[in-house]
Each structure stands twice: as C-alpha cells, then as structure tokens.
Amino acid sequence: MPLLLTDHTVHTARRPWVFWLLIGIILLLGVIMVIAPIYSVWTQPYPDLNFSTFFGSLGLIMMLLLTWPYIEHTASIQTGTESFTVRKYGQVPFEYPYTALTGHTVRPNFDRQRSWTELVVYLPDNWFTLRSIDFDNFDELVALFSAVSPAVPYRQVLSPGEQRLARIFLIVALLVGLVPVWFGFAAYQPVDKQPARLVQLSGTLSSIRKTTNRSSSYTGFTLRLAEYPDFTFYARRKEFTDSLRTLPYALNYPPRLTLTIRAYDFRTKISRQQPLTFGDRYDDYRSIPVAGIDSSPFFHVRTTRTIYNDSHTKPYLRLSLFCLYAIVIWSFWLAVDKQTIRR
C-alpha cells in the first residue's frame, strides 16, 4: 500500500518555453497551410499547385513529427489511496489500481536543450513517463511508484491506443506524400528534344526586382510589363552572362523593353491561341522565363543556354523519391508493431 501522495492531489506537468514554442510552430504551420492556398487563388487565375502540394505536404508531415513526441508525455497524474489516474497529451485519461503495476524504470535522458531523470511505469496494457523537469515533486512520485512496483529493465513500448494512433499518423503521412507524386504525373507534359521556338514581346517596364537566394546572393531579376500585368518575367543569372547584372542601370526613361520568350508561352498565356494544359495552369502560371532582353540601344543580353519547352515536372523522379519515403514509413510501421506491451 503506498505511503505517500495519497490525498487525491492532481499533479500537473510544467509547460516550459519549448512546449509553447512547438505549439506556436504547429499553429503557424496550420495557419500557413490554410492561408497560402486561399491567397494564391485570390492573387492569380490559377493557384500554383506545384508549390502548394509540395510545401503543404511537407508542412503537414512536419506537424505530425512535431506533435507525436508530446502524445507520449504525461500532462497530469492524480494519486489516490488505492489507485491513480494519468492523463497524457491528446489522450483519454486512464485509471489503474496500484496492484496493476508490473514494473518501473528510473533512467537519465536528454535532448539538445536539457537533461532530466525520468520514471517509466509499466502496466499490463499501458505505460506512462514522469520527467523530473515536468513535476516539482518528482522525487516523491518516484518513491511512491518504486514502493509498489518492481524495478525492471527499460524497454520502449506503446499502448494499444498509441499504436493505433501511430498507424493513423503513418497512413496520413503516406497519403500526404502521394499528393506531390499525383501532381507530378497530372502536370507532366511531354516535350520535344528540339530547342524551343522563340518570339519577341515588347512592352513598357513597370517594375524590376533583383532576386536573391537564402545567403542574399544575387540570382537574377523579375520583370513586369505594363501591357501584361498578369505575368512576371524572370531572368536567372546562371543562364546569362555577367552583363545581366547591369540591367537596372542601362534602362532609359520610359523603359521600353523587348523580351525574348518561348513561342509556346506566348501562344498559351499571352495570346491564348492555344489551350492551356493542366501543367500550364497549375505550375506557376504567372511566371514566364526570359531568353533575351533588349533595351536598344542601351542593353542587349541573350541566354547562354539552349531553351527548351517546359515539361513542368519530373514524375518518375518524384515516384522514385516517394518509394524511398514509403520504405521509411514502412520501417516506422514495423517499429510500431514491435513496441507492444508484454507482461
């Protein structure tokens, strides 16, 4: 019979800043996943599904990864005279008599930010963990459960409910991973191996913006023409000579430009002489690559690479990556099956 903590007191785990940070990240990811598609629909005729399916799937998988560790954490425990009640985050509370305990383990543990001591308590069909960083009276709780259960070697286990939840997480993660693969095949457009036919498009420059990468290194320019406000024309530095860098300084007023673009983009997006395919609509519809820029007599630049029509996606590469991803999911599934509680 336990001698300590038998006053039916509820002991609630502390919530450190790391907990609230993760909650904030999860909520932020959820908000972004909702707002981003709505914003893309409002700001252009066709949403960029290539971007949203990939990063939306990645965001949802990240939410699952961030959420799962807290599923196993104990949120509160109520100790009584004959029994105790444990509530884990996101799970239904469960009550057991002290006589049902099959063992306990006290061991050190750590992560990147901190270290702690944890008490792992085993039951015939369940388990729970108490951490020294979560409970002020951790030593008293250790004394209580050590007095009513034998010490046993540590083993990694999941309750039947947690195993079902883990399988649901894995199935969802697998289905979410299929979404970019579906888009890859739906948007794929076979193209000739011959260089694309090019045409010239003239207009008045309404805006020019230098693009950079994560390290703030110059990567090119995006251009907007007043006559074609629905489209953004982009020139990548890696496809042009260094003279592209001087474009903003070579413009005269009013800045008239002649852009060289693919004839296919002109027929499908500008003149609408040819119907748009699924990939044309939903793979960054507003962006059109530039193969040359003229601002006579001040500026002339041509791409250093051969221009081909865009296939939009590489579906078999996506399928190959998904197969590797599915193998990882399957390995987690096998690990979940092995973490069964045994007496």
Instruction: Read off the pLDDT of residues 308-332 as tens digits, 9 standing for 90 and up.
Output: 999 999 999 999 999 999 999 999 9
| Predicted confidence band of residue 301 (pLDDT cuts 50, 70, 90) | confident
Higher pLDDT, 95 or 67: 95
Q: What percent of the chain has pLDDT over 70?
A: 87
Return d(Cα 284, Cα 53) in angstroms, integer.
Answer: 12
Whole-structure pTM value:
0.79
Contacts of 38 (CB under 8 A, 6+ apart): none
Residue 18 pLDDT greater than 90, yes or no:
no
Return d(Cα 313, Cα 321) in angstroms, integer.
Answer: 13
Return d(Cα 257, Cα 250) in angstroms, integer.
Answer: 11
Average pLDDT, the chain: 85
Return d(Cα 71, Cα 89) in angstroms, integer.
Answer: 5
Return d(Cα 176, Cα 36) in angstroms, integer.
Answer: 17
pLDDT per residue over 227-286, tens digit each? Answer: 999 899 999 888 887 778 888 877 766 788 899 999 999 999 999 999 999 999 989 888
Which range is least confidently modeled, 85-94, 106-115, 250-259, 282-291?
A: 250-259
